[in-house]
Structure 1
C-alpha cells in the first residue's frame, strides 16, 4: 500500500475507544469498559480546548492507524525556550512499516514550524524499535524518564533519616588499596564457602 493512503486529522471525541486500545500499553491501570473510554474522551475534550496541545490521528486507507499527542512546553524547568513535545506516538500493529509513524512525526515538525519553535522532543516507550525509529529521524537521547507506583517507591525509601552520622575520611583511600580490600573480602568469602 502506498504512503499516499495515509491521512492525518485532528482527533475527535468519537476516537476515544480506538485511542484507548492503541494506548493501552501507556496506561498504568487496567482499561476497563465505558468508564475508561469516557475518561479518555474527557481528556480528548481537554486537548481540543487547549491551544498548547493536540492529538493527531493517522488513518491508513480509511482505517484508524495511529495517533500522537503533541504539546508545547518549555525545554526544561530552567529554560524559557519552547519545544513541541511528542508523546504517545503509536501505530496500530496492522499498519506498521507503511509510513504512518513518520507521518505523525512530520505533523509534530509542521506544528513546530508553524509556531516558530526551533526544537522537537519525544518521550519514547522502552522499546528498542521505537528508539531506533526516533534516532533515524534525528532525535537524540537527552534523559531517561522512569515511572513507578508511589507505594512501591515509598517501600524502598526509609521513613526516617538515619540518626547516626558517619565521619567522613579526611583523605580518600588510594584506589589500589580499595581494590586490595575488595579482593581480600572476595577471597575470604570464597574460603568460607569452600573450606579445603
Structure 2
C-alpha cells in the first residue's frame, strides 16, 4: 500500500481551529509553551490578519500532523539581512520520523526564495536537543544568543548593584574630603555614623 503524501500549505485565519489542535499537541509535548490555547489563538489571529506571520500546516492523508510558524524581518534589529525566520516547528509525536519536519522547512525555503531572501533563520530552544541536532544537520549554524530574565529578578539585581555602587561612591567622596581637610588643617574631620555606611551591608540587604 502506497504511503500517503505529505502536503504543506500556507494557512489562513479560517484554519485556526486546526492550528489550535496542533498547538495543543505541542503544548503537551513541551513545558516551554505555557500560554493557553485561547490566548495563542487571539494573538495568532491578529498577527496573521496583519501579515506579521505565516503559518505552514502539514497534512498526511488530509490529517493535520505539523506546523511551522514563520516571522519576517531582519535577522538583527540593526542588520540589513532580511528573510523569514522559522520561530517554531511542531510535528505530532505519532507522526515523527516520516519527513514532515523536512517538508515544512522545504516549503519555508520556497517562500524565502520567492521573497528574494538569501537565508532562512530558525529559533531553537536550548532544551530541545532533538530539534537542535535536526537543524544542525541541515546546515543551520548559531548566529546570535538571546537571553531572558524576569522583570522581578532584574529589578532586584539592579537595586542591589545600584545600592552598593552608591555606597562605594559615597565612601570615595568621603576619603577625598578627608584627604583635603587633613592637608589644609592638619586635623581629621568628624565623620557622622550615617556617612560611613558599609557597602557589604547594603549589598546583603
Larger Rg: 1 or 2? Answer: 2
- How far the C-alpha of 1:3 sits from its partner, in A, is 7.1
- Higher mean alpha-carbon deviation, 156-165 vs 12-21, is at 156-165
- Alpha-carbon contact 1:3-1:98 (below 8 Å) kept: no
- How far the C-alpha of 1:155 sits from its partner, in A, is 3.2
Higher helix share: 2
In the alignment, what sits opposite 1:137?
A: 138
In the alignment, what sits opposite 2:157?
A: 156
Task: Indicate how the Cα distance of structure 1 residues 148 and 21 shifts in structure 2: closer, same or farther if over 3 A, else same.
Answer: farther
| Secondary structure at 1:158 match in 2 | helix
- Alpha-carbon contact 1:112-1:118 (below 8 Å) kept: yes
Count of residue correspondences = 161
What does the per-residue CA deviation read over 1:31-88, in whole Å, with 9 as the maximum and x for residues that have no partner? 5xxxx33322222322332334201111123322111111111121222331211111
Cα distance in 1 for partners of 2:100, 2:3 equals 8
Written as runs of structure 1 = structure 2, the 5 A alignment for 1:78-89 is 78-89=78-89
| Secondary structure at 1:56 match in 2 | strand
Cα distance in 2 for partners of 1:79, 1:88 equals 22
Task: Indicate how the Cα distance of structure 1 residues 6 and 75 shifts in structure 2: closer, same or farther if over 3 A, else same.
Answer: same
Task: Indicate how the Cα distance of structure 1 residues 149 and 55 shifts in structure 2: closer, same or farther if over 3 A, else same.
Answer: same
Aligned-pair Cα RMSD in Å: 2.5
What does the per-residue CA deviation read over 1:127-181, in whole Å, with 9 as the maximum and x for residues that have no partner? 22111110111111112222343223333333535121599xxxxxxxxxxxxxx
- The answer on 1:37 being equivalent to 2:40 is no
In the alignment, what sits opposite 2:105?
A: 105
| Secondary structure at 1:145 match in 2 | coil
Q: Which consecutive unaligned segments of at least 5 residues does structure 2 have? A: 173-205
In the alignment, what sits opposite 1:18?
A: 21
Q: Which consecutive unaligned segments of at least 5 residues does structure 1 have? A: 168-196
Written as runs of structure 1 = structure 2, the 5 A alignment for 1:1-196 is 5-11=5-11, 12-24=15-27, 25=30, 26-27=32-33, 29=34, 31=35, 36-126=36-126, 127-159=128-160, 160-161=162-163, 162-163=165-166, 164=168
Task: Indicate how the Cα distance of structure 1 residues 5 and 93 shifts in structure 2: closer, same or farther if over 3 A, else same.
Answer: same
Q: TM-score, normalised by structure 2?
A: 0.68
Q: TM-score, normalised by structure 1?
A: 0.71
